[in-house]
A and B are shown apart, each in its own frame.
Chain A
Amino acid sequence: MAHVAFFAIAAIAVASALGLILRPNAIHGALFLVVNLGSVAALYLTLGAEFLAAAQVIVYAGAIMVLFVFAIMVLIPGKEETGPDPRRGARLVAVPVGALLLLLLVIAVGGRWSGPRGPAGPSGSAGAVGRLLFTNYLFPFELTSVLLLAAMVGVLLLARRRA
């Protein structure tokens, strides 16, 4: 049962990722990415990371994708990537190179993780993750707030209209 659920979600994730990079229309790509992020959130749930699944939906599928869709609406008046590609040959090389990268990744990382699943990990509930963030990871957590502030100020500076 767990296997069926995993393979179904994995198929959705891979198909939506392929849709993102193959569809010519950027807004379709954004919607495919939302599907992909949602399926990864479902995979977090199957791994017992409930807090991360909720954060994934709120932060990625909510906030970040709204930014993306907004930017696409503002920037692209109609069709994008029209006309023949002047570097088609160079870009087609990317496909075998990507396949080679996948092969290397699977050999390097995937192979040594085979075997039965380890003992059941701790629950990734909001309470447990929050306790960890506010004890062992308190300093990085505070640094994150500084980073977000810096990003906010930087975006305001970039978006300011120069008179």
Chain B
Amino acid sequence: MVPESYYVVLSAVLFSIGVVGVVIRRNPLVIFMSIELMLNAANLALVAFGQRFGNLDGQAVVFFVMAVAAAEVAVGLAIIVTIFRVRRRLSVDDLSIMRW
């Protein structure tokens, strides 16, 4: 059987790729997808931990993370669509209005 540490290391790799994606991309949709990638990596680690401890609680938590991610995507995409409707451009560098 494959040790759980392999799954945890793979999860760390996917999470780091997601972090780099959030920083280097300018399209808010791609940034959003990178956040989904990070959530997914965390889910994978949770399932691996639950398997290691021999109970199902990790899988229950992953179920809730999926539900929250679905709500987050719906609200986030609605916000992006609203911003696009007002500004007609789609780059995070333009959205500095709330920065001091």
A68 to chain B, nearest CB (A): 6
A140 to B70, CA, bound (A): 16
Q: Mark A130-162, 1 if CB is under 8 A from B, else 0.
A: 001100110011001001101110110011000
- If A17-B18, A37-B40, A94-B24 touch, whether A148 touches B60 (CB-CB below 8 Å) is no
B34 to chain A, nearest CB (A): 6
Neighbouring B residues of A115 by C-beta, 8 Å:
3, 5
Number of CB contacts from chain A to chain B under 8 A: 232
- If A49-B47, A122-B54 touch, whether A64 touches B73 (CB-CB below 8 Å) is yes
Question: What secondary structure prevails in chain B residues at the interface with A?
Answer: helix
A127 to chain B, nearest CB (A): 11
Question: What secondary structure prevails in chain A residues at the interface with B?
Answer: helix
B24 to chain A, nearest CB (A): 5
A76 to B88, CA, bound (A): 10
A40 to chain B, nearest CB (A): 5
A116 to B33, CA, bound (A): 34
Q: Is the CB of A98 within 8 A of B4?
A: no
Neighbouring A residues of B48 by C-beta, 8 Å:
47
Q: Is the CB of A26 within 8 A of B27?
A: yes
Q: Is the CB of A101 within 8 A of B52?
A: no
Neighbouring A residues of B30 by C-beta, 8 Å:
20-21, 26, 29
Q: Is the CB of B73 within 8 A of A118?
A: no
Q: Is the CB of A47 within 8 A of B51?
A: yes
Q: Is the CB of A68 within 8 A of B82?
A: no
A14 to B60, CA, bound (A): 25
The chain B residues found within 8 Å of chain A, CB to CB, are: 1-10, 12-21, 23-27, 29-30, 32-34, 36-37, 40, 43-45, 47-48, 50-57, 59-60, 62-64, 66-75, 77-82, 84, 90-91, 93
A-B contact pairs, 12 of them (CB 8 A): A13-B10, A52-B63, A68-B29, A71-B80, A98-B20, A101-B16, A117-B4, A122-B56, A132-B59, A136-B60, A141-B64, A144-B68
